[in-house]
Structure 1
Amino acid sequence: MKYICAFAWLLGLLATLPAIANENNKFIKDTNLIINSEETVFTVDAIHSGTTTFKTSITILNANGQHRAKLYVPYDKLSKVNYIKGTLYDGKGRRIKQLKNSEIADISAVSNSSLVTDNRVKVANLTHTVYPYLVEFEYKITSKNMMFYPLWRPLDEENMMVEKASLSVLVPKGSKLRYRETNMPDKVKKESTDLHDVYVWQVQKLTPVRQEPSGPPLKETVPQVRTAPADFEVDGYQGNMESWESYGLFFEKLNKDRDVLPLETQQKLQALVADLNTPEEKIKKVYDYLQGKTRYVSIQLGIGGWQPFEANFVDSKGYGDCKALTNYTQAMLKAVGIKSYQALILAGDGESDILTDFPSSQFNHVVLCVPTANDTIWLECTSQTNAAGFAGSFTGGRHALLITPEGGKLVTTPDYVAQDNLQKRSIHVKLDETGNGTAQVTTVYTGIQQESRDYVLHNLKPEEQRKWLYQQVKVPSFEIKDYAWQQQKKFIPEVTEKMELSLRQCATLSGKRLFLSPNLMNKWTYAPEPIENRTTDVVRSMAFLDVDTVTFELPVGYTLEHKPQDRELKSMFGEYKSSTTIEGQKVIYVRSLKMDKGTFEPDTYAKYLEFLNSVITADKQQVVFVKNVQ
C-alpha cells in the first residue's frame, strides 16, 4: 500500500509541473527540489523534557537539490535519537531502497577549533544519480534541554518549492507557549486534547523565492515561526524566558561563584597595573595579558554549552571557550577593581540582529562589556589579536544581553559610521616613455576596513601574504617589489600598508597620444542587476569612506589634450567626489567615496543603481596627452 501511495503521489506531482511552470515560469526552470510534504511535531512532556518527530517527502529534480537527499540529525548528551527511517523511490515511483540502521553514519560534530564536545550527528544518505527521484525521511528525538523550542522555516533556501508543511507544538494543558510569527500567510490554529493544548501552523504551495540583490537575507523574507518556553529546565537548572530580565537571571545563576582566581594570580594582576592611572589603561593591560596567556578552544559538554569553566581552570590551563575566557577576563578585571558584565550576542559577519521583542535563545557567543566613566569598552576574549574595545563586523552594531545580578539588560554594541571605516590612500607614480612606471603606495585602513589586513598579518606566512596581496591589488599588470604593514591597536584599530609596485602599461600609448586612467587602484566596477517590481528593502550593512590621492609624474614632452570634468554625486546612499589637476608634468587625482549604512524602501532601488552606475562611469574617466612634435 505504501508503494502504491508513493507511486501515485509522485506521478501526480510530476503531472502538475507543467501547469506550475506556466504559472510561475521564471521560477520553475530553476527549481531544484520540491517539499511534497513535511510534518514537524514538538511535544513538551515536562519542564525538563520533550520529543520531536519529523516526517518529510522530497522530490529531487536535479543535482543542485541533491543535498536534501542527505538527512543530518544532531544530538548530544542531553538528547537522544530514537529512530531514523528513510526510503528512496525512482522517477516512476518504484522503491529503490529502504534505509537500514547499519547505513546510518554516526559521527562527531567536532570542528577544527574544538577540543572536547559531546555534539554528534547521525547522517542518512539516500542520494541517487537519475533525476527526478523521491526520498522520504522520518525521525524522532527525545531531549532533556528545554531551553530551545522549534524555529520553523519551511522555505529555507532559494530554488525550492513547498507543496505543504506543518508545525505542531503540544504543551501540557494550561501551560504557556510563546511564539512569534513572521511573514506567515495564515495565523496559528489552536486545538486541544485531553492532555495537551495544541498549536498548529500550516503552509501550502509556497513558490520559490529569491534573495534580491542588496536585499535582506532570505530568512527575513520567508514564512517563519519562532517558539519559546516560559519556564524551562536544563540539566537541573531552572529558568524563565518570558522577559530578557528573567532570562538573564538564568545565566547569572549559571555563572555564580565561577569567577574566583588564585590569590597569587590576583596579586600578579594588581602588580601589573600598579603604575597605571586610568581604568582604560588597566583594562587594556589586562586584555593584553589575556591575549598573551590564553587560546580559544570550544568545549561543549552538557550544561557546559552554556555554563563557563571556572576562572581558576582557565588560569591554570591557558585555554577555554568564549564563555570561559570571558568569565576569566571578568574575574581578572574584578581583581584590579574594575566591574564588568558578560554579554550574550548573536555574532557573525553580516549576521542579522536578534528579535528584541521576543525574549528567547537567539545567541551564539559571549563577550565582555566594561563600562567606564568615559565610554563602554567591549572585549572579544577569544581573540589573540583584536584591539581592546573594537567590536568590528563580528559583534558590532547589534543588540547584546548583559548578564547582571539584577537580570538581563538589552544594550547595543558599537556601530561604526563611514569615518570609522576608512581607507585613505596616497599613490605616487613615475611613468617612463613606454607607459610603464613605478608606484609608491601608502594606505591607511581603519575599523572594519582593516579587518582583512589584520587577519592576514597575524595568520598567513610571508609568501601567503604576498599571494593574497596580488589578489587584492586592482591594477591591470603589476609586480609587487616590496610591502610592509604596521598596526596600531586603538579603539578604532589601524593598519598602515606600504607597497612598492612595478607597473606595466600603466598608461596607454597610441600614436602621439598618451591615455591615462587617473583612478589607479580603486575603480568601482559593480552594480547589481535591475529588478522590476522589487519587493524587499535595499540594505547596506556597512558604511565606509575611501579617499584616494594619486600623483603621476609624466615623462617630459607631453601637452594636455583632455582633462576629465570634476564630478560630485550625492544621494541618500552616499557621496562621491573626484577632481583632476594638471601641474606641469604632474597629474594629481583626488577621489572620495562615502557610502552610508542603512535600510531603504524597495522603490529606491532604481536610484541606488543610478548612483552606483554614475560612480562606475566617473571612475572610468581618462586624461589624454599629446606628445610635442619637435
Structure 2
Amino acid sequence: MKNWIVVAAGLLWQATAWAGGTPSYSALAIDAALTKGADAVIRTEETVFTVHSAKSSTEKVRVVVTVLTPEGKEHAQLVVPYDKLNKVDYIKGTLYDASGKKNRSLKASEIKDYSNTSDFSLYEDNRVKVAQADATTYPFTVEYEYQVSSSNMLFYPVWYPLSSPKVALEHASFQVNMPVGMPLRYHERQVPEKATVTQVNHQQVYKWVVKGIAPVEREPWGPSYYELVPFVRTAPTTFEVEGYAGTMDSWKTLGEWQNKLNQGRGVLSDATRQQVLELTKNLATPEEKVKAVYQFMQNKTRYVSIQLGIGGWQPFEAAVVDSKGYGDCKALSNYTKSLLEAAGINSHYALIWGGEDNRPVVPDFPSSQFNHVVLCVPTAKDTIWLECTSQTADAGYTGSFTGDRYSLLVTPEGGKLVSTPVFKAKDNTQIRSVQVKLNAQGSGVGEAVTWFTGTQHEDRNSIMHQLKPEEQLKWLYKQTHIPAFEIKNFALEKVKATAPQVKEKLQLELPRLASVSGRRMFITPNLMNRWTTVPSALESRKQEVVWNSAFHDVDSVEYEIPAGYKPESVPSPVKITTAFGQFEAKVQVKGSKLLYVRQLTMHKGRHSPEKYKELVDFLKQVVRADQQQVVLAAEAT
C-alpha cells in the first residue's frame, strides 16, 4: 500500500528475541528505515481482548517502546483510564538502557492515580493511572504490561497500533477472543493483512498483525493522521451494561437499547406542563413554539457534566432537571424533549459526535461512535436541531460543533442514522465594508463594519458572552490583521436574522496606511483580509487533498484620496476559478474615491492527489493579488 514503508523480511527481530531468558531491546537492532525521522519506535505492542460473556471482558496489553530523542519522551508514558465499570487489575513496567540491558522495574511510586473529571463536571467517576518511567540518557526502552477488567460491554476496543507522528512500529498484534456463538463484528482500514480467524477450544480467535511501519507523515492539506495508519474498530452483537441488555447488529437495535435507558424519564410536574402551555398558547407555528420552549430551557438550566456508571448513557429524569436547574447533555436534551411534548411538539433524542474534530462515523458499522447528545425536532418546513447544553446558542444552528456529520436519532421505532445540516460556503460569510480617509502623510482613519454568519460568527458570538469588554478588545487586536493600527472604539452585536449573525464595528487609527516616496504614495488596498500562506510544493503527491473549510468573504474598502493626488497605477482586475474556489479582486476610481472589492469563496471537499498543484498555484495567485499596490501621484504645482 502506498502509505506504508514495509521493512524487508530480513528485518532483525532482536526486539522480540529471547537470550538466556532475557529479552533484548537494543536500540542498535532497530532497522535504519524505521529510525529515520522517528522520536520513538514501538518495538512490540500486543493487545489481547477476551470477551467472557455479554456482561464482562478483560483486556491485556504489553507494549515496548524505545525512546530515541528527548522529544519522544512522552511516548514513555502510559495512561490507563478507568471508572466504575472498568477496573485496572495491574500495571507493571521495566526500564532498559540503550543496549537493551534491564535497568530496573517500575516503582509503585511511579504509578500515579488522578481524577479525570472535567472542570465543568459536578461529579464523574472517571480516573486515570499514569505510569512514567524516566531515564536520563537516550535512547532508552520502557516495557509496560497491564490488564483492565470491564463490565461495560457497550464498547469493544478500537485499535490504533500507531497513534502518533514521528513514531515507527516494528511489530504489533491485536487479538480478540470471543465465546463460540458470539460473533465479533469489526471494521478494518489501512491494515495490510486481513484478520485471521481460528477456533481454539471454546473460543473464536480473531487476530491482526502489522509489521515494519516507518513514521507516517501527513502531506500538507492531506487526510487526518488517523486515516493513514492501521485501524480496526470492533463491536459486539449482543451486550449488557448494568442490567440493560441490547443488540448492536443495526442502528435500529442500538436505538432500541437507548430507548430502554430513556424509558420513563420524561415525566414533568403538572405545574411545569401548565407553564409550557401558557408560554406557547398564543404562538401560531410549531417553529415559534420550538424557539420559545428552547429559550425557556436555556434560561432555566445550566450545563453540568455528570457521568457515573450507566449514567454515562442514561439521562437524569426530566423532573430532576426541572427542580435542580442543571444537567448534562443527555439530561438537558431529555428535559427539552419533555417540555416540547408538553407543548404538543414531537422530537427525537439524538446521539452525535460533538466537537470541531469531526470524527467521521462509519455508517455501515453500527456501534457506539458518539460522545454527545442533542435534540432533533422535525417540522413540516424543516428539521430544527437543538444544542441543549448552551445558554446562548440559536435554535436550529449546528455549526462546527455538530454540523455536517451523522447523528443517530432515537425514535420510538429504534435508531435511525441521519445527517445534520451541511454548511456551504455562502452559509459561512464575512461581509465587510470599510471607509478610509487617507491624508497626504500616508496615515489615516477608518471605520470597518463586518457581518459574520455561520461558522465565521462563532468566535465572536462566544467572546461576547464569555469575555469582559477589555478582554474582547485584546482578542480583537489579535484577530485584526493590519500592519499598523489602533482600535479607538469597537462594538459587537448579535443580529436577529434567519441565520445567526454577529455585527462587528471598529473605529481605527491607521498611522502607516501608505508609504510615501517623493511625490508618490503606495497603498495596498486590501486592508484587512490578506491571504499569506501557501503550502509547500511537492514533486510527488501521494495523499488526497482535503480542504475542510467552506467560506465566502467579501471585502469592500473605499479610500478617500487626499487632495492633490491622482491614481498613477491601478492593478488590473483579477478573476480565478478552480476546483477549490473562486477569487476576484478589482480596483475602481470614482472622482476622489478609490474602491477596492475582493471576494474569496472556498469550498469544502476532497480531491485527487493530482489536484494539489492546482491548489498551490491558486493560493500563490491569491497571495500575489492581495499584495498588489495602487500608486497615487501628487499633481504638479
The interval holding the TM-score normalised by the smaller chain is: over 0.9
Q: Assess, with a 3 A threshold, how the Cα gap between structure 1 residues 214 and 491 changes in structure 2: closer, same or farther.
A: farther
Matched with 2:359 is: 352
Mapped pair 1:20 → 2:33: yes
Q: CA deviation at 1:350?
A: 3.7
Q: CA deviation at 1:527?
A: 1.4
Pairing partner for 1:442 from 427, 435, 449: 449
Q: Assess, with a 3 A threshold, how the Cα gap between structure 1 residues 171 and 337 changes in structure 2: closer, same or farther.
A: same
Q: Give the unaligned 5+ runs of structure 1.
A: 22-27
Mapped pair 1:413 → 2:420: yes
Q: 2:292 is aligned with what amino acid?
A: K
Tell me the secondary structure at the aligned position of residue 419 of structure 1. helix
Q: 2:132 is aligned with what amino acid?
A: N
Q: 1: CA distance between counterparts of 2:123 and 2:594? A: 60
Tell me the secondary structure at the aligned position of residue 145 of structure 1. coil
Q: CA deviation at 1:491?
A: 5.1
Q: Assess, with a 3 A threshold, how the Cα gap between structure 1 residues 180 and 3 changes in structure 2: closer, same or farther.
A: closer
Mapped pair 1:145 → 2:136: no
Matched with 1:293 is: 300
Q: 1:121 is aligned with what amino acid?
A: V
Tell me the secondary structure at the aligned position of residue 334 of structure 1. helix
Alignment of 1:70-149 (within 5 A): 70-149=77-156
Mapped pair 1:216 → 2:223: yes
Matched with 2:619 is: 612
With structure 2 as the length reference, what TM-score do the two structures score? 0.96
Q: 1: CA distance between counterparts of 2:352 and 2:39? A: 34
Q: CA deviation at 1:489?
A: 5.0
Q: 1:542 is aligned with what amino acid?
A: S
Tell me the secondary structure at the aligned position of residue 121 of structure 1. strand
Matched with 1:10 is: 25
Point out the more displaced range, 468-477 or 101-110.
101-110
Q: 2: CA distance between counterparts of 1:591 and 1:125? A: 54
Q: 1: CA distance between counterparts of 2:280 and 2:495? A: 21
Aligned partners of 1:538 and 1:600 also within 8 Å: yes
Matched with 1:382 is: 389
Alignment of 1:425-440 (within 5 A): 425-440=432-447
Pairing partner for 2:501 from 470, 479, 494: 494
Aligned partners of 2:55 and 2:239 also within 8 Å: yes
Q: CA deviation at 1:5?
A: 6.8
Q: 2: CA distance between counterparts of 1:528 and 1:311? A: 51
Q: Assess, with a 3 A threshold, how the Cα gap between structure 1 residues 380 and 217 changes in structure 2: closer, same or farther.
A: same
Tell me the secondary structure at the aligned position of residue 523 of structure 1. coil
Q: 1: CA distance between counterparts of 2:550 and 2:615? A: 15
Aligned partners of 1:6 and 1:93 also within 8 Å: no
Q: 2: CA distance between counterparts of 1:102 and 1:166? A: 30
Matched with 1:593 is: 600
Q: 2: CA distance between counterparts of 1:508 and 1:51? A: 70
Matched with 2:3 is: none
Q: 2: CA distance between counterparts of 1:486 and 1:167? A: 54
Q: Assess, with a 3 A threshold, how the Cα gap between structure 1 residues 358 and 274 changes in structure 2: closer, same or farther.
A: same
Q: 1:34 is aligned with what amino acid?
A: V
Matched with 2:326 is: 319
Matched with 2:636 is: 629
Q: Assess, with a 3 A threshold, how the Cα gap between structure 1 residues 530 and 5 changes in structure 2: closer, same or farther.
A: farther
Q: CA deviation at 1:539?
A: 1.2
Tell me the secondary structure at the aligned position of residue 276 of structure 1. coil
Tell me the secondary structure at the aligned position of residue 10 of structure 1. coil
Mapped pair 1:50 → 2:47: no
Aligned partners of 1:148 and 1:361 also within 8 Å: yes
Aligned partners of 1:387 and 1:490 also within 8 Å: no
Q: CA deviation at 1:200?
A: 0.4
Q: CA deviation at 1:488?
A: 2.6
Alignment of 1:102-501 (within 5 A): 102-488=109-495, 490=497, 492-501=499-508
Q: 1:260 is aligned with what amino acid?
A: V
Give CA deviations for 1:293-327 in whole Å, capped at 9, x if unaligned.
11111110000000000000100111111000000
With structure 1 as the length reference, what TM-score do the two structures score? 0.97
Q: CA deviation at 1:418?
A: 1.0
Matched with 1:24 is: none
Q: 2: CA distance between counterparts of 1:288 and 1:253? A: 28
Q: 2:28 is aligned with what amino acid?
A: L
Pairing partner for 1:526 from 526, 530, 533: 533
Aligned partners of 1:350 and 1:541 also within 8 Å: no
Aligned partners of 2:151 and 2:241 also within 8 Å: yes
Aligned partners of 2:17 and 2:24 also within 8 Å: no
Q: CA deviation at 1:341?
A: 0.1
Matched with 2:564 is: 557
Q: 1: CA distance between counterparts of 2:36 and 2:521? A: 50
Aligned partners of 2:123 and 2:305 also within 8 Å: yes
Q: 1: CA distance between counterparts of 2:423 and 2:499? A: 9
Give CA deviations for 1:66-86 in whole Å, capped at 9, x if unaligned.
112111111111111110000
Matched with 1:25 is: none
Aligned partners of 2:25 and 2:101 also within 8 Å: no
Q: CA deviation at 1:105?
A: 1.3
Pairing partner for 1:64 from 68, 71, 95: 71
Q: CA deviation at 1:584?
A: 2.1
Point out the more displaced range, 539-548 or 297-306.
539-548
Q: 2: CA distance between counterparts of 1:489 and 1:618? A: 35
Q: CA deviation at 1:3?
A: 9.9
Tell me the secondary structure at the aligned position of residue 291 of structure 1. helix
Give CA deviations for 1:366-420 in whole Å, capped at 9, x if unaligned.
0000000100000000011111100000000111000011010011101111111
Q: CA deviation at 1:65?
A: 1.2
Q: 1:373 is aligned with what amino acid?
A: A
Give CA deviations for 1:160-193 in whole Å, capped at 9, x if unaligned.
1000000000000132100111011001011221
Mapped pair 1:580 → 2:593: no
Q: Assess, with a 3 A threshold, how the Cα gap between structure 1 residues 7 and 500 changes in structure 2: closer, same or farther.
A: farther
Q: CA deviation at 1:6?
A: 9.4
Q: 2: CA distance between counterparts of 1:293 and 1:355? A: 36
Give CA deviations for 1:40-97 in whole Å, capped at 9, x if unaligned.
0000001100000000110001122111211111111111111000011122333333
Q: 1:522 is aligned with what amino acid?
A: N
Aligned partners of 1:7 and 1:92 also within 8 Å: no
Q: CA deviation at 1:500?
A: 0.2
Q: CA deviation at 1:211?
A: 1.6
Aligned partners of 2:64 and 2:141 also within 8 Å: yes
Aligned partners of 1:431 and 1:552 also within 8 Å: yes
Give CA deviations for 1:182-212 in whole Å, capped at 9, x if unaligned.
0110010112211201000000001110122
Tell me the secondary structure at the aligned position of residue 46 of structure 1. coil
Tell me the secondary structure at the aligned position of residue 475 of structure 2. helix
Matched with 1:37 is: 44
Aligned partners of 1:387 and 1:489 also within 8 Å: no
Aligned partners of 2:88 and 2:148 also within 8 Å: yes
- How many residues are treated as equivalent by the alignment? 622
Q: 2: CA distance between counterparts of 1:350 and 1:57? A: 29
* Deviation beyond 3 Å, 4+ runs, structure 1: 1-8
